Chains A and B, each alone.
Chain A
Amino acid sequence: MMDTLRLLGAITALEPRAKQKENTDRAAVEVPVDAFYSLMGRLKSDPQLAFDMLYTHTAVDWSAKGEGPGEFELVYQLYSMTHGHYLLVSTRIPRDNPVAPTVSPIWKIAEWQEREVYDMFGVLYENHRDLRRLFLEDGWNGFPLRKDYKDEFMLERPE
Chain B
Amino acid sequence: MGMITEKLPGYIEPVPGGSVLLTSMDKLINWSRSNSLWPLTFGTSCCAIEIMMASGAARHDLARFGAEVTRPSPRQADLLVVAGTIVKRMAPRLRTLYEQMGEPRYVMATGSCAISGGPFIYNSYSTIRGADEILPVDVYVPGCPPRPEAFFYGILTLQKMIKLGETIRKPGVRKKPVLAALPPGVTLDQIQKEMAALLEKDAVINLDEANRLREEWANIKMAGNEGA
Contact = CB atoms under 8 A, between A and B. Distances in A.
B88 A153 contact: yes
B124 interface: yes
Contact of B122 (A144, A151, A156): A156
A155 B122 contact: yes
Chain B interface size band reads under 10
Q: Which of A144, A155, A156, A157 has the most CB of B within 10 A?
A: A155
B123 A154 contact: yes
B125 A151 contact: yes
A153 B123 contact: no
Interface in A117-146: 144
A144 B88 CA distance: 14
A156 B124 CA distance: 8
Main secondary structure, interface of A, reads loop
Interface string A32-76: 000000000000000000000000000000000000000000000
A155 B121 contact: yes
B125 to A, nearest CB: 4
A155 B123 contact: yes
Nearest to A135: B89
Chain A CB count within 10 A is highest, among B88, B123, B125, B126, for B125
B163 interface: no
A36 B54 CA distance: 46
Nearest to A142: B125
B125 A157 contact: no
A144 B126 contact: yes
Contacts of B125: 144, 149, 151, 153-154
User: Which 6 pairs of residues, A with B, have the shortest CB-CB distance?
Assistant: A157-B122, A144-B125, A155-B122, A154-B125, A157-B123, A154-B123
